Amino acid sequence: HELHATARGHERIQEERVLPTPVHDRVHLGREEGVLALPQDLVLLRHRVPIYRLRYAVPVRRFAAWLVHLYTASSAVLGVYGVVACFQGQFRLAMYLMMLTMVIDSTDGALARAVDVRKQIPWFDGRRLDDICDYFTYVLLPVCFLIAAQMLPNPAWVALPVLASAYGFSQDKAKTDDFFFLGWPSYWNVAVMYLYLMQSGPYTVLAWVIGLSAAIFVPLKYIYPSRTRMLRPLSLAVLAAWVLTFS
């Protein structure tokens, strides 16, 4: 603004009159209270009690965030037991373990958002951990089931779901912005359990394996039960009913 010289001088005088002289006392951090170098009428006292409250509050939430990550990783441990059960011929136990991994995968995301794990542990990528566990429990464990139960004409056919799902999991747009899966979401555990319980023949299983592997590359939208907003209540209700009846 263009001001008259006298007005500008008056403004400076007003500013000098309003702002008090700073205090240059030395701050003693070892004492219970320290005086910060601020204007005399804006002196702040440093109290230790609120600082201690903050120090105790942060680790609790961070510990909760680590528990959520541990909960996610536990599905991989169950997957290992599932693989062992497959090759020991305990297929019913293997199916129960696959279902447990699905329950963990369906609930860990809500827990992660509730605790705000990304903010509490910003250097740890929970989504990558989830993808690693999902690839193991949704793809590799069912593939081991196919081999151990001799459900295919030749075990070499398991390369199809392994490679196709590796592509599906590695896509940047594997999940859309409105929370749908783009391409068939590699629910091999569900497919294998149904094929086993229906006592499907080797070539019927092979036809399904080929078809579902191809469906991963077709960019159609599939419901993400725990995230698709408009159908979330119905999807979760159907999922819970399916788990109870199927088990």
Grouped pLDDT means (10 residues each) for the chain, 247 residues: 48 48 49 46 46 55 92 96 97 95 89 90 92 96 97 96 94 77 91 95 97 93 72 75 78
Give the Cα separation of 172 and 45 in Å (integer): 51
Q: By the 8 A CB rule, do 95 and 139 touch?
A: no
Name the DSSP letter for residue 27.
Answer: P
CA nearest neighbour of 70 among 130, 136, 140: 130
Give the Cα separation of 167 and 190 in Å (integer): 19
State the pLDDT at residue 243.
Answer: 76
Residue with tokens 């979401």: 185
| pTM (predicted TM-score) | 0.71
CA nearest neighbour of 222 among 188, 178, 181: 181
Q: By the 8 A CB rule, do 110 and 227 touch?
A: no
Q: Which residues 6+ apart lie within 8 Å of 167 measured at CB?
A: 216, 217
State the pLDDT at residue 54.
Answer: 42
